[in-house]
A and B are shown apart, each in its own frame.
Chain A
């Protein structure tokens, strides 16, 4: 979408025009659902977060200063909405964990052929707090000190949760690959 058109839609959204709101939603809903899916355990929860997030976006759109990426601004609101729901559900257990993960060797996972839905499912199956930290750090680029702040945990716990999450994911990937390899052999 061209910048001036996006700016015009944002201005109309600030005025409360329904048509502009709908266009904005149509333009960004899929991407934002992609964001909220990473912080949710399933699609229903992700859509719930998406709905609440967009309401916040429309209610607070006047605070957007037309500086920086508007998509980034929206993405942050969606993430914050997911975190807020997470906090409200009291899913965050403040447990300081310092876990050393064993080195299983150097594998080039990035070259593996795993579909997006399988990867998403793996993330969604993570325990809530590991999923939140993993998504914040790996997928949305939050540093540990910021994660610690938004999740009300210590930096050490954030690092520990990330390590634990990674380990679980690595195990899942390995399991998935071994099953896939077995299937191929059977075929």
Chain B
């Protein structure tokens, strides 16, 4: 029984163990198409994740830039507020002490009762950024005198209104600072930087002098108190000045925005392939190429701009990525050959250059010393040569004249925009190259349309180096709207996915 089984097993094993059968060529086509699809999918995934990562980085950068800028500004104002308030409190405390020392208790009580006449200084940047410098400088209303000198300092810098005691010192009317002292940008007076600097220096000197004065011997302060009130005014001015400095900076930015014309120089690295269904055309994989050009940008308003220019591109397909360059594969034994017959040390291939690609028929160059007879099916032998890498590459060179609309999403130091539009593409180069022969041109695609139209969409980032220069990064997708071959047998619509990097100069 056991022996019988062994005989049975050996009968089949000897025959079938090394069975070798030549598969249908369609099997390789199926394998190759699936491998190419996987490659494309992988590339798409790389682009997608790169885009996602870039978007996240961009959002982080913009968020960081925006919030840090905002917090710095808030910090400036808060610091100013704290300084002003503390300084104000100190001065008022001193002033109160003077009053206390010079007035009786009843007068003091009245002063307290009249707290509703307290002078307040509100410095408001906006609703969220309100600085209140409040002070309570009491006085006796019945002692107010029309003779009291009034200092109006509401000219261009503020609506500050002050009343100061007269020289007799019988009245105290503290400065009343309007709550709308600094309300919004429209009320701002723009001071030039020299004026601002001068004013700030002078103010500082005055502050110092105020701290050095001697308390007057009389009940009511006169000149020193006047200085106190002036100091309050100057504090307000200081805030005003800070505000104006910001306004001046803003004005500078606004001026920058007025730059309507700019030129953009760009270089691109792109992956190009095609879509379409060509009859019998050999499919290939995409190719990477570099391009570049110059564009003119005209800003119609703050957000919208139009662009045009001239851009050089290269696109095509790598024919060697599939069996297209080989019409037939020869195997050692057609069917049920023995293993000894099958195993060859050299693989013999029957190779012919394809008569056409997906883009159209190949018109071989007359001067080519390549085996022209290969086109008619001459067999040539080839063994695997790792150094010769790939074989045929079909490429087109085009000059593109785009007309694009650009919409600015963010215009800070880091800018973000989207753009899209149409382009006219002139095919200026057309060739099929054999890489195994040192990238020698073996011919060109016949029936290519000279002028073609494409659409494109891009998402861009810009970083402002200074008021004139910006550098940018612009991932872009471009798709041909028409087949570039005039024959309706070939539906070849190239597309490309690339990244433009460039520099922009604003006039």
Contacts and interface: CB of A to CB of B under 8 A. Distances in A.
A33 B22 contact: yes
A99 interface: no
B437 to A, nearest CB: 14
B104 interface: no
A123 B17 CA distance: 12
A51 B12 contact: no
Given A38-B19, A109-B10, A21 B35 contact: yes
Interface stretch (B57-65, B318-326, B485-493): B318-326
A164 B386 CA distance: 50
Interface string A121-136: 0110000000000100
> Chain A CB within 10 Å — which of B4, B21, B28 has the most?
B21
B7 A114 contact: no
Given A19-B391, A138-B12, A1 B19 contact: no
B39 interface: yes
A27 B391 contact: no
B4 A16 contact: no
Interface in A1-34: 1-2, 5, 8-9, 12, 16-23, 25-27, 29-31, 33-34
A109 B23 contact: no
A30 B22 contact: yes
A11 B154 CA distance: 83
The secondary-structure label for the interface of chain A is helix
A108 B9 CA distance: 11
A79 interface: no
A18 B23 contact: no
Nearest to A167: B8
Given A5-B384, A18-B32, A26-B331, A109 B8 contact: yes
A2 B384 CA distance: 12
A77 interface: no
Given A5-B384, A19-B320, A30-B21, A25 B16 contact: no
B31 A104 contact: no
Given A19-B390, A23-B347, A166-B8, A139 B24 contact: no
A91 interface: no
A17 B389 contact: yes
Interface in B265-303: 285
Contacts of A18: 32, 35, 285, 320-322, 390
Contacts of B18: 31, 34
A110 B11 contact: yes
Contact of A20 (B9, B27, B345, B384): B384
B342 A169 contact: no
A54 B439 CA distance: 30
Given A5-B384, A26-B329, A109-B7, A17 B12 contact: no
Contacts, number: 150
Given A9-B384, A16-B39, A123-B12, A2 B31 contact: no
B34 interface: yes
A51 B27 contact: yes
A112 B336 CA distance: 18
B373 interface: no
B23 A26 contact: no
A37 B9 contact: no
B13 A139 contact: yes
Nearest to A17: B389
B127 interface: no
Interface in A107-121: 107-110, 112, 114-117, 119-120
Contact of B34 (A17, A55, A117, A170): A55
Contacts of B369: none
B214 interface: no
Interface in A40-91: 43, 47, 50-51, 54-55, 58-59
B11 A30 contact: no
B349 interface: yes
B393 to A, nearest CB: 12
A153 interface: no
A26 B31 CA distance: 12
A44 to B, nearest CB: 9
Contacts of A115: 336
A72 to B, nearest CB: 13
A173 interface: yes
Contact of B7 (A12, A107, A117, A122): A107
Given A5-B384, A19-B391, A30-B22, A103 B11 contact: no
B21 A106 contact: no
Contacts of B1: 101, 103
A8 B383 CA distance: 13
> Chain B CB within 10 Å — which of A30, A35, A116, A123 has the most?
A30
A110 B7 contact: yes
A111 to B, nearest CB: 8
A31 B336 contact: no
Contact of A59 (B10, B17, B38, B384): B38
B186 interface: no
A139 B14 CA distance: 9
B15 interface: yes
Contact of A105 (B4, B11, B22, B320): B4
Given A30-B342, A104-B4, A116-B16, A12 B22 contact: no
A19 B11 contact: no
Nearest to A140: B17
B386 A119 contact: no
A116 B31 contact: no
- 6 shortest interchain CB distances as A-B pairs: A34-B19, A109-B7, A110-B10, A109-B11, A30-B20, A18-B321
10 contacts: A1-B343, A1-B345, A9-B386, A18-B322, A19-B320, A54-B31, A107-B7, A110-B14, A116-B16, A134-B12
Given A29-B23, A30-B23, A169-B12, 13 more contacts: A17-B389, A19-B320, A19-B391, A33-B22, A34-B19, A34-B21, A47-B23, A55-B31, A106-B7, A108-B7, A110-B14, A116-B19, A117-B336
